[in-house]
Structure 1
Amino acid sequence: MSSITKTTDKPDMIVRKMPFEFPNDIDPHWNPDKPEWSHMVNGTSLAMPFLEPYLIRTMRKSLPLIDSGTLKEDVKLYIGQEGQHFQQHRKFNDLLIEKGYAELTNIERQMKQEFDDFEKNRSHKFNLAYAAGFESMALGVAHWLINDREYLFGHADSRVASLVLWHFVEEIEHKNVAIDAYNAVYGHYFYRVYGVIFATLHVIKHSRRAYQAMLKKDGLWNNLRSRWKLLKMTTRFFRNMLPPMIVACLPGHHPSQVKDPQWSLDWIARYDSNTDEFAILDTTNISASFS
């Protein structure tokens, strides 16, 4: 089992209950210049109300197997943050379905069935490796979204951009917890790498099915110009994701070795001093820091 522990200079986690609202005037193409990117994010959002409760149940089952009192408290805070995430995504996803994407309900049913099957028929080791693997992927995504935020979220609907960036700031904040739990309970290196690969491909599979369904509904899936834009965006995703994924699979890797983006640290510091106002970001100046 790993002897690596999380860094002590990292801010303490807190469970933030964000006052997000998703009224009917939100366009599913919330980044009007990038409808393909909008649906890629929408497709990922669709998975959250099924993925994150699965992660919560998996981590909760790990608590009796963990000796460290500090890690147990971190797991409880992780559970609290993930609980807030999936509730906010559930509200946003309901809006997408109400906006005419009823096909998404079939994809939701399949996702629920698969996560239920993992929990029922797979070992706890598999489920905890999946959790650690997903969090490794989420950390890479978080760094990309933050570092590339001007291109991805500039002049987009601030309500959706704020949801996504809040979520991934907290993915950075709790980046150590799932791998620490896995190392404390099992610690098998090769199985952890399997979890990284399996969880990444599994989430991508369902996200792609969802954004494909939405692009088909919009009449864009067979549009060559739109498909070219989608290809460029997915290439941008993989170009930014492959390096951190390779690092996550190295022996001895621990997320505490990955420096947090200054923007995420500034977000946390500003939120702590201005909780209510800070729920909505200014996407006309999203490249700016909060410091």
Structure 2
Amino acid sequence: MKQVKKQTTNTNNYMEIRRLPFEFSSNIDPHWHKQRPEWSHMVNGASLSMPFLEPYLIKTMRKANQLIDSKKLNQEVSLYIGQEGQHFQQHRKFNDRLIEYGYSELVDIENEMKQTFGHFETNRSLKFNLAYAAGFETMALGIGHWLIKDKDYLFGGSDTKVASLILWHFVEEIEHKCVAIDAYNHLYGNYFYRVFGMIYATAHVIKLSQKSYKVMLKKDGLWRNMESRWRLMKMIIRFYKNMIPSFLEACLPNHHPSKISDPEWSLQWINQYNLDGKKLTLLNTENLNEF
């Protein structure tokens, strides 16, 4: 394996593994944003992939960490693994509630996801898997910035438990934004393959999410409802409008996440965690600017 030595430039000094006591009752409403059921299912669809995608990322980063000869990056990878481990466990609890609510068709999609990521792990090279990881984290960074910038529209007035879960997840995605790309650059550093990994991972995760939310919208009788379809289309356009600029920026040869400043709200979230983390499991969705 050709190893390209590059300086790791992760300037994030406050990474922490946070174990928050999220609880999701059996009667939680899948339309957790009453005004935006289509958006609710877009998020639900993305959540469905987390218990399969994130263990795959963890296994990939563990393998990479055995080859990395930077103690600083070794430590950052370990913290990344710890954070992702918390993420998929919390999403597993939420997803179980969705299935119990009546979306039993999601079990078949879960089995497909398990097989797909298992295939990647077994049959694809570490270079591919690490490029996928770096690509996914690039997408997650862009999504995190969008969710925070647009939080009042996306989460205002919604179920506090779900909003708190998603915002916690993406605050930490922003927090560990450098780790996967630093690992990829340390071991490989090929620019074109990094961009390929980003395109592949982004398209793959979006495809999985779309398949999942389509099933839920069909179950609700909304998929063939033209008003619902129009609301869904507007939300998809909103997503791409916010994501495309960050995606294009990430395609530049000199791209590195450390050059992107963290949103002030995410830093305030971290400060609140240090004061009283339990409050962050029940954010006030009527005023998300106050903790």
Query: What does residue 133 of structure 2 align with?
Result: 131
1:2 is displaced (CA, Å) by: 7.1
Query: What does residue 160 of structure 2 align with?
Result: 158
Tell me which moved more, 85-94 or 276-285: 276-285
Task: Please state if 1:242 is matched with 2:244.
Answer: yes
Opposite residue 271 of structure 1, the aligned amino acid is: Y
Opposite residue 196 of structure 1, the aligned amino acid is: M
Q: Counterparts in 2 of 1:184-263, with a 5 A limit?
A: 184-263=186-265
Which residue of 265, 277, 284 maps to 1:282?
284
Deviations, residues 80-121 of structure 1 (Å, cap 9, x unaligned): 000000000000000000000001011111111110111111
Query: What does residue 65 of structure 1 align with?
Result: 67
Q: What is the CA–CA distance in structure 2 between the aligned matches of 1:237 and 1:221, rounded to whole Å?
A: 19
RMSD: 1.0
Opposite residue 120 of structure 1, the aligned amino acid is: T
1:24 is displaced (CA, Å) by: 1.8
Query: What does residue 119 of structure 1 align with?
Result: 121
Which residue of 176, 197, 202 maps to 2:178?
176
Deviations, residues 46-88 of structure 1 (Å, cap 9, x unaligned): 0000000000000000112101001000000000000000000
Task: Please state if 1:46 is matched with 2:48.
Answer: yes
Q: Does the 8 Å CA contact 1:263/1:289 hold for their aligned counterparts?
A: no
Go from structure 1 to structure 2 and tell me whether the alpha carbon gap of 1:256 and 1:2 turns closer, same or farther (over 3 Å shift): farther
1:4 is displaced (CA, Å) by: 5.2
Unpaired runs of at least 5, structure 1: none
Q: Secondary structure at the match of 1:227?
A: helix
Q: What is the CA–CA distance in structure 2 between the aligned matches of 1:86 and 1:243, rounded to whole Å?
A: 28
Query: What does residue 102 of structure 2 align with?
Result: 100
Query: What does residue 9 of structure 2 align with?
Result: 6
Q: Does the 8 Å CA contact 1:66/1:185 hold for their aligned counterparts?
A: yes
Q: Does the 8 Å CA contact 2:164/2:280 hold for their aligned counterparts?
A: no
1:249 is displaced (CA, Å) by: 1.1
Q: Does the 8 Å CA contact 1:158/1:280 hold for their aligned counterparts?
A: yes
Which residue of 109, 112, 115 maps to 1:110?
112
1:33 is displaced (CA, Å) by: 0.4
Query: What does residue 16 of structure 1 align with?
Result: 18
Q: What is the CA–CA distance in structure 2 between the aligned matches of 1:43 and 1:182, rounded to whole Å?
A: 28
With normalisation by structure 2, the TM-score equals 0.97
Tell me which moved more, 271-280 or 170-179: 271-280
Go from structure 1 to structure 2 and tell me whether the alpha carbon gap of 1:143 and 1:2 turns closer, same or farther (over 3 Å shift): farther
Q: Does the 8 Å CA contact 1:4/1:254 hold for their aligned counterparts?
A: no
Q: Does the 8 Å CA contact 1:49/1:89 hold for their aligned counterparts?
A: yes
Go from structure 1 to structure 2 and tell me whether the alpha carbon gap of 1:185 and 1:39 turns closer, same or farther (over 3 Å shift): same
Opposite residue 75 of structure 1, the aligned amino acid is: V
Sequence identity percentage: 64
Tell me which moved more, 268-277 or 81-90: 268-277
Q: What is the CA–CA distance in structure 2 between the aligned matches of 1:221 and 1:114, rounded to whole Å?
A: 26
1:276 is displaced (CA, Å) by: 2.1
Q: Secondary structure at the match of 2:195?
A: helix
With normalisation by structure 1, the TM-score equals 0.97
1:7 is displaced (CA, Å) by: 4.7
Q: Does the 8 Å CA contact 1:266/1:289 hold for their aligned counterparts?
A: no
Q: Counterparts in 2 of 1:131-150, with a 5 A limit?
A: 131-150=133-152
Q: What is the CA–CA distance in structure 2 between the aligned matches of 1:93 and 1:191, rounded to whole Å?
A: 33
1:224 is displaced (CA, Å) by: 0.2
Go from structure 1 to structure 2 and tell me whether the alpha carbon gap of 1:2 and 1:243 turns closer, same or farther (over 3 Å shift): farther
